[in-house]
Amino acid sequence: MALPVLSSSGVKFRRVLAHFPQELSLAFAYGSGVFRQAGPSAGHSENNMLDFVFAVDDSVTWHMMNLLKNKSHYSFLKVFGPKQISNIQSYGAGIYYNTLVPCNGRNFWSWLPCFGDNLWKLRMCKLMIKYGVISTDALIDDLLHWRTLYVAGRLQKPVKILTQNENGKLQAALVSNLKSAVTAAFLMLPESFSEEDLYMQIAGLSYSGDFRMIIGEDRSKVQNIVKPNVPYFQKLYSNILQDCPQVVYKHHLGRLEIDKSPEGQFTQLMALPKNLQQKVTSLVDPPGKNRDVEEILLQVAHDPDCGLVVHQGISGIVRSSSIVQSAKTILTAGAKKSVTYSVKKLYKMTKGWLKKTS
């Protein structure tokens, strides 16, 4: 099974990629600048910053080449060279972000529609981007085992795949991540639910426990992501749902029914990524007992609060990685960009809160 390509690379994205070293195992764009969202991010997505992730086989070499081409993208860390940048990248979620990067030069200017004076007008808009660099090995590890759920979580939601090489292990890991997301969501949902309920649960996995959802993000973010993009979620997950023996997928009704028996839940728990299984067992198993993982998961499968325990396990994974990754931002973005980026996030959060209370 191949990961569905939701849309091909457009001219705007090809122009962006052309200004970076081309040694990429995977590149994708995501977020409100790519997919329409409800809430504060609604409107003309062209005016939102474009977010990218680049997976590279050799981080040191890639940063070395990127420093030669795009030295201005980096904070003061550039003076320490590509090896130290790569070392910093390895902390937290294993990804190094350059943010609020203005794409200068005529190749980055494009005609975009802008609404004003009750008329559609055309004006030239300069692209602003943020891009993260992660090693291919670290990405595969996160996709398979949910070490941090940072990039794996982004790939559980619709993204625009821009380029991907013929790495069979990476392809398999991308599909495995989607299947794991479905399994985890099943454990936290009731016996019968709608397709939208499922996608809301999946989209919320990587935000569980993220302290930025308390301050810095619109609290309706998950709903804003899912509601306008249900067809994209269907394209990602419909084949997995149709092939899953534990679910009755009534596609024409948009409803699903799953096996919530202890036996069914045990099968799902045993299919979870390794790191999440370890988090769940550590929540349930008292210190010193050192029981077998299978025995503990069998106990959890019989627990009426099974879904809550799984949710707590996911929150534990996300919480630690989001804190370290956010702390890294001060170094990788620099103080000025960090403040600017944080203010923009707080503005979006406040705008969403005011809209809900009005």
List the Cα angle 321/237/49 in 5-degree steps.
50
- Give dist(CA 153, CA 196) in Å, integer: 18
Residue 357 CB neighbours (<10 A): 6
**pLDDT tens readout for residues 8-62:** 557 778 888 998 998 999 999 998 888 888 765 554 444 568 999 999 999 999 9
Q: What is the mean pLDDT of the chain?
A: 83
Q: Residue 345: which residues within 8 A CB-CB, separation 6 or more? A: 212, 216, 217
Distances from the Cα of 172 to the Cα of 143, 177, 179, angstroms: 9, 9, 11
39: number of CA atoms within 13 Å, CB side? 24
What is the C-alpha R_g of the chain?
21
Residue 345 pLDDT > 70: no
Note the pTM of the prediction, 2 decimals: 0.85
Q: Which residue has the tokens 């997505």?
A: 45
Q: Residue 270: which residues within 8 A CB-CB, separation 6 or more? A: 277, 294, 297
280: number of CA atoms within 13 Å, CB side? 33
CA dihedral of 253, 160, 137, 331, whole degrees rounded to 10: -120
Please state the three-class secondary structure of the chain as a single string.
CCCCCCCCCCHHHHHHHCCCCCCCCEEEEECCCCCCCCHHHCCCHHHCCEEEEEEECCHHHHHHHHHHHHHHHCCHHHHHHHHHHHHHHCCCCCEEEEEEEECCCHHHEEEEEEEECCEEEEEEEECEEEEEEEEHHHHHHHHHHCCCCCHHHHCCCCCEEEEECCCHHHHHHHHHHHHHHHHHHHHHCCCEEEHHHHHHHHHHHHHCCCHHHCCCCCCCHHHHHHHHHHHHHHHHHHHHHHHCCCEEEECCCCEEEECCCHHHHHHHHHCCCHHHHHHHHHHHCCCCCCCCHHHHHHHHHCCCCHHHHHHHHHHHHHHHHHHHHHHHHHHHHCHHHHHHHHHHHHHHHHHHHHHHHC
Residue 106 CB neighbours (<10 A): 7
Q: pLDDT-derived band of residue 112, with 50, 70 and 90 as boundaries?
A: very low
Read off the tokens for 196.
């939208």
Residue 348 pLDDT > 80: no
Q: What is the mean pLDDT of residues 312-332?
A: 85
Q: pLDDT-derived band of residue 127, with 50, 70 and 90 as boundaries?
A: confident
Q: Residue 168: which residues within 8 A CB-CB, separation 6 or more? A: none
Residue 195 pLDDT > 90: yes
Q: Which residue has the higher pLDDT, 51 or 219?
A: 51
Comparing CA positions, the residue from 99, 130, 111 lying closest to residue 29 is: 130
Give bridge partners of residue 193 from the DSSP assignment: 256
Q: Which residue has the higher pLDDT, 337 or 202?
A: 202
| Amino acid at position 289, single letter | K
pLDDT at 36: 84
